[in-house]
Amino acid sequence: MKRLFLITAACLAVSASAFAQAIAVPPKGERGNADITAGDATRLGRREAGKTIITPDTLQILGSGSTGDASTLSVAPSIGGAPRALKDLLSNETYAANFGVVADDGLDDGPALREALRAAQMRGTRLRLPPGVITVCPDPGDAEALLRVTSLVEIAGASRGSRIEPCEAAGGRAVILVKPLANAGGIRGAVLRDFSIGKLGLKRFGGDGIRIDTTNRNGFVAKLLVENVSIADAGPGKWAVHHTNDPAAATGNQTGGLFASTFRDNDFFGGMKFEQTGDSNNIERNIITGPNVGIDYQAIVGAATHRITGNNITAMGGAIIVRNTQQVKITENQLEMPGSYTGSQASPAMILIENVADWVVADNNINAGDKADIVVARNNARGGRVGPNTVSYASGHYLYRATGSPGNSVERQHSEIIAGIESTGRSSVSIDPGSITLGVWQPLVILNGWSAGRDKNFRQGLWWMPMPDGSIRLSGTIQGGSITAGTAIATFPGNYRPPLAHRLPVLTLTGAGAWQLGVLTADVAGNLGVQNLPANTLVQFDGTSFSIRP
């Protein structure tokens, strides 16, 4: 293409100064063989069938050369081959600079940038930001945002060399608002990449960095990609990324609105907040820090399949909160709370799971210092698994704390540091009676006069551990109750009762100091009952187990 420009310039201005300094062109410049020449030596081309065909021997233009409009010339691209005008080939992207955006001049580029953004959305093209600082002040007619995305577009900077800097008058406006127009359908496939909002390490003006608003009914946002974007901190209560939706409102979005979107490889100072969001969102490989919760994720009831993986989160409001959804995977993250807790939870947690079904926390590196528990499950968080992680927490805190959240499981950790001491396999947990948990010892209420044994060298009372494989393990010592056949010692919860009764041999210690074998039964009603025990006996359960699977 470059060669074509040079040839065209020569033809349009054969009398230009570059030629005038070399060889004077003859009056006709055509030889008898139809060659077109400059003087006697330089061949430019030939005439064939009424056309001038430019095929120079050698052509070099020095100095400023010729000028002229070559934009309508037809050129065949190297891939595909269908000829297109040069102006079309050069217009596949929209350049903010073409609309008057001038970086690094300290002047308000808001009007020019908004005009460029509207043009890019109208054409469905990529909007290219120039490198440097782009100052953006408010549009008096828009109280919500400095820049507004209402349809498919890609905003791309120069690999974070492009910086959008909100001016002081921005107030609480979002810097970039992604909000479909009312009753105009959704936005599918928008991209924000390779730029920054404010300067990392410094406070910036304005409200949320990127706000996604799906409160317009049917105005969904799908396949949004936010990649390689840096957002500076705007202070407590202002988020780097914030999705808002109110499905209860008259115009609310009943599906959550935001789904199948990805946020990856970003630097987010100020955290991420999702309110009443939809299915299948991915938060991957980001650096997240600031005074807020790192990721505060709340979905509409029924939304599923969310992944939070590979992130580095250093947040004083807690690392991750997930509410009201299902199928959540929290894996391979680096989570840390180095300073004083600034969140609002009564029991601070690095990871809080609330009213979530089918969740996994595994293969993370979590350091709670002396500020928080590692995982807290509450309000019917169920079907979850605390898999192997590398964790560190203080005395008085827990690897796992559960309230009203049955049916979860806790596994042995890869490494577990409690109060600075390696304690792998000796997890500290807190489980209320309504939070039956697989893989964890928990007490059973003992009945009919039985009480805990007195030898402190052994676990006292009756403890049980339901296992993921369907087995029930028992431990502890009890004494002093009724030994009448059929007497219930304890009752297992409804989901942990065998389909057929089991006889359980147990060791007993009589008042005479002799060890004898006794027999208990675990029946289909869930009762752990006496079948045959000697008088004045202490019952030892260590090593006793049975299966509740058919």
SS (HEC) of 174-193: EEEEECCCCCCCCEECCEEE
Q: Which CATH architecture has domain 93-292?
A: 3 Solenoid (2.160)
pLDDT of residue 64: 61
Is the CATH number of domain 442-547 3.40.1000? no
- For residues 212 and 246, the answer to whether their CB atoms sit within 8 Å is no
Name the CA radius of gyration of the chain, rounded: 36
Distance CA 73, CA 49 (A): 21
Q: How far apart are CA 205 and CA 137, in angstroms?
A: 10
Same fold, 93-292 and 442-547: no
CA of residue 525 relative to chain centroid, distance = 46
* DSSP label at residue 97: G
Hey, how many other C-beta atoms are within 10 angstroms of the C-beta on 365?
16
Write out the two tokens for 243: 């999705």
pLDDT at 41: 61
Which residue ranges in the chain fall short of pLDDT 50?
1-30
**pLDDT at residue 480, as a whole number:** 92
Distances (CA, A) of 280 to 190, 265, 308, 328, 521: 16, 18, 11, 9, 47
Q: Delimit the domains of the chain by residue range.
A: 2-89, 93-292, 442-547
Other Cβ atoms closer than 10 A to 10: 22
3 state SS of 421: strand
Show the tokens assigned to 238.
Answer: 């202002």
Check if the beta carbon of residue 252 is closer than 8 Å to that of residue 246. yes
Across-strand partners of 386?
361, 410
pLDDT score of 236: 86
pLDDT score for 72: 74
Structure tokens that stand for 250 in this block: 């008259």
CB 463 within 8 A of CB 474: yes
> What pLDDT does residue 59 have?
59
Instruction: Give the residue among 432, 428, 436, 409 at the shortest CA–CA distance from 491.
Output: 436
**Three-state secondary-structure class, residue 258:** strand
Contact assessment for residue 245 and residue 266, using Cβ atoms and an 8 Å cutoff: no
